[in-house]
Amino acid sequence: MAKKKIVIIGGGFAGVFAAKELRRKMGKDADIELINKDNYFVFQPLLPEVAGGGINSSDAITSLRLLLKNIQVRLAEVIDVNFDEKVITVLQGTKRMPVEVSYDQLVLAMGQTADLSRFPGMTEHALTMKYMGDAFTLRNHVIRCLEHADVAQVPEIKKRLLTFLVVGAGFSGVETVGEVKHLIDKSLKFFPNISPDEINVKLIEFADRILLELPASLGEYAQKQLEKHNIEVLTGVGVNSATGTSAELSTGEIIQTKTVVATIGTGPNPLVEKLGLEMQWGKIKVDRCMRVPGKEDVWALGDAALIPLSDTPTERHDFAPPTAQFAVREGKQLGLNIRRVLNGWELKEFAYVSQGSMASLGASKAVAEVNGIKLKGFMAWVLWRSFYLSFLPGFVTKMRVFLNWTLHSFVPRNISLIEPPTKAATKYVHFRKGDVVFDRGMIADGFYTVIEGGFELDFKDAETGKHIHREYGPGQHFGERIILGRDKRTGKVKATEDSVCLWVARDDFKRFAKGFPMLDEYFKGYIAEKFGEEAARPKKD
């Protein structure tokens, strides 16, 4: 048999286990390459604990190069696949010059992405829990809220900072809300100006109970545990929309909060959409052997694929569920099937029955159902952790993680904000009718262009003392006087209806306007016309 090149796109459970099985079974008969956008594997079920600061990020990830010995790992972004030529186009390094990688057999295992587009403002303002960066961001965000609340002077701002909303009560949502609450509880002693009864943590779920994946009795136990820790659980309630300072529930209630974590809504990976393969429910259709119909040499598995578990599948439960447990089994069997096809043997259909499920609840508690046996509390939590350790490569790494976990339970939570706040230079910002965009005396932090909706400006001319009122609609803009070095806002801008703006950060906007003469002239003319010649004169910055 000639040496074959097998390329796997995606380094999650499915891709990693397929690669390992192929390496084990194919020996030197194949070159195996795994392409992933990160150079590490994330043990995704541990993300909520990273977000809660219960473990270090380095104890929830493993380097792909360490995990996949004798497999070429390529840190790159796949931008296209040519199925006829059997060539993948990737961007690597500085991501400027496209590079081509050819294959004999291709495995698509790139998973799904978060998709919140059904809920206005959620894409822009909600936090998600899908990647390591999300867990990092959430942890830092919660700590930043506590830091700010500790020195906040306005009661409404303090309340908003101390209200945390988690949307969706599946495994991810339940674990996230538990860990976030635990982080806050363990950290409050360091924030002398925040009292425990000012903390408001809510979990909302559209279904009529939490943890639908588990038996009702375990769901009830989990809900009681969360409530015991003062987490408010609302079932039969969804979210309608979000802004930077609030969320609207399906009941019409508006909750003032800086923190909305969405664990709902997934959609296909943008690359998958581009490939032109047959899709259903946002996933790639495959046969029972995980082969893409009509393509001899292309396979799909994991969350990216819809794998039938029977010959006449119709309902959701006739297909493999998107869990780590199934992804591991799929990966192993896919590896065997590729060996079978290369050897001319008959393929085997994927068949697997779940061994059970587990969810961590924070504070060293969990619920589990394993082979029909229900477990809850500390023992379930120990089982949950052991499962992860068994997965780690090498005894020393297992020991390191185990010791770190143990040490972590003795020391205070690390509340160091080790990441700078995200500094997006341009972003879309949603406002509700009546929301104040900025007020007199505020630092001029950016420039706004109206995309949708409307705003009104009120200010008093410093020279004449005259009150000025202006309105802005789509395509119009405000806040441009910062390019002249005005440090503080001189007027107040309010949304007159639900609206969306494009915001450009102060420094980026100034740099752009200064470097680009045509823009500089436009704004000088605009300001002189609207605010008078005096306003257009530059102020020392």
Q: How far is the CB of 169 from a second copy (least distance, A)?
A: 29
Residue 504's H or E segment, with its range, is strand 499-505
**Tokens (6 digits) for 372:** 């029909």
> Does residue 396 touch a second copy according to CB under 8 A?
yes
**Which run of H or E residues covers position 143?**
helix 132-151
Rule CB under 8 A: say whether 389 interacts with a second copy: no
Whole-angstrom distance, CA of residue 109 vs CA of residue 185: 39
Among 426, 459, 468, 536, binds a second copy (CB under 8 A): 426
Residue from the set 87, 341, 347, 425 that interacts with a second copy by CB under 8 A = 425
Contacts of 138 (CB under 8 A, 6+ apart): 51, 127, 129, 176, 180, 261
Q: How far is CA 449 from the centre of its chain?
A: 27
Residue 323 in the binding site for a second copy (CB under 8 A) = no
d(CA 385, CA 395): 15
Distance CA 394, CA 339 (A): 27
Q: Are strands 105-108 and 246-249 parallel, antiparallel or unpaired?
A: unpaired
Determine the longest span between alpha carbons in the chain, in angstroms.
Answer: 89
CA dihedral (396, 399, 401, 404) in degrees, to 10, reads: -130
Stretch near a second copy under the rule CB under 8 A, chosen from 136-144, 171-179, 227-235, 307-315: 136-144
CB of 438 to a second copy, least distance (A): 7
The Cα 133–Cα 529 span in angstroms is: 45
Query: Which amino acid makes up residue 134?
Result: D
Q: Which of 87, 347, 451, 528 binds a second copy (CB under 8 A)?
A: 451
Residue among 122, 113, 131, 225 at smallest CA distance from 169: 225
Among 6, 7, 46, 61, binds a second copy (CB under 8 A): 61
Q: What is the nearest approach in angstroms of a second copy to the Cβ of residue 512?
A: 6
Binding residues for a second copy, how many (CB under 8 A)?
Answer: 87
Distances (CA, A) of 242 to 257, 290, 298, 439, 498: 9, 39, 40, 21, 11
For a second copy, give the closer residue by CB, 42 or 218: 42
- What is the distance between the alpha carbons of residues 181 and 300, in angstroms, rounded to a whole number? 38
Question: Which C-beta is closer to a second copy: that of 210 or that of 504?
Answer: 504
Within 511-530, which residues bind a second copy (CB under 8 A)?
Answer: 511-512, 515-519, 522
Site for a second copy contains 201 (CB under 8 A): no
Stretch that binds a second copy, among 106-114, 148-156, 204-212, 285-293 (CB under 8 A): 148-156
For residue 413, the minimal CB distance to a second copy (Å) is 9
Q: For 199, how many CA atoms within 13 A lie in the half-sphere containing its CB?
A: 23
The least distance separating a second copy from the CB of residue 13, rounded to whole angstroms, comes to 17
**191 forms part of the interface with a second copy (CB under 8 A):** yes
Distance of alpha carbon 300 from alpha carbon 287, whole angstroms: 9
If DSSP codes are grouped into helix, strand and coil, which group holds residue 419?
coil
CA-closest candidate to residue 183, choices 489, 475, 416:
416
User: Distance between CA 16 and CA 18 in Å, rounded?
Assistant: 5
72 touches a second copy (CB under 8 A): yes
Interacting positions 227-286 with a second copy (CB under 8 A): none
Instruction: Out of 438, 455, 478, 531, point to the residue binding a second copy (CB under 8 A).
Output: 438
Residue 155 found at the interface with a second copy (CB under 8 A): no
Query: What's the closest the beta carbon of residue 395 comes to a second copy, in angstroms?
Result: 10
Q: Does 461 bind a second copy (CB under 8 A)?
A: no
Per-residue x/- mask for a second copy, residues 492 to 511, rule CB under 8 A?
----------x-xx-xx--x
**Choice between 46 and 222, CB closer to a second copy:** 46
Beta bridge partners of residue 166, listed in sequence order: 203, 261
Question: Is the torsion defined by CA of 517, 519, 522, 524 positive or negative?
Answer: negative
Q: Is 383 in the site for a second copy (CB under 8 A)?
A: no
Minimum Å gap between C-beta 407 and a second copy is 5
- Nearer Cβ to a second copy (87/519): 519
Piece of 59-67, 113-121, 272-280, 361-369 that binds a second copy (CB under 8 A): 59-67
Q: Report the distance separating Cα 279 and Cα 305, nearest Å.
A: 9
Question: In whole angstroms, how close is the CB of 522 to a second copy at the nearest point?
Answer: 6
In the bound state with a second copy, the residue whose beta carbon lies nearer, of 256 and 426, is 426
The residues in 16-55 that bind a second copy, with binding defined as CB under 8 A, are 38-40
In the shown chain, the binding pattern of residues 84 to 123 toward a second copy, with x for contact by CB under 8 A and - for none, equals: -------xxxxxxxxx------------------------
Determine the interface stretch with a second copy among 2-10, 112-120, 360-368, 389-397 (rule: CB under 8 A).
389-397
Helix (H, G, I), strand (E, B) or coil at 144: helix
Instruction: Confirm or reject binding of residue 82 to a second copy (CB under 8 A).
Output: no
Check residue 445 for interaction with a second copy (CB under 8 A): yes
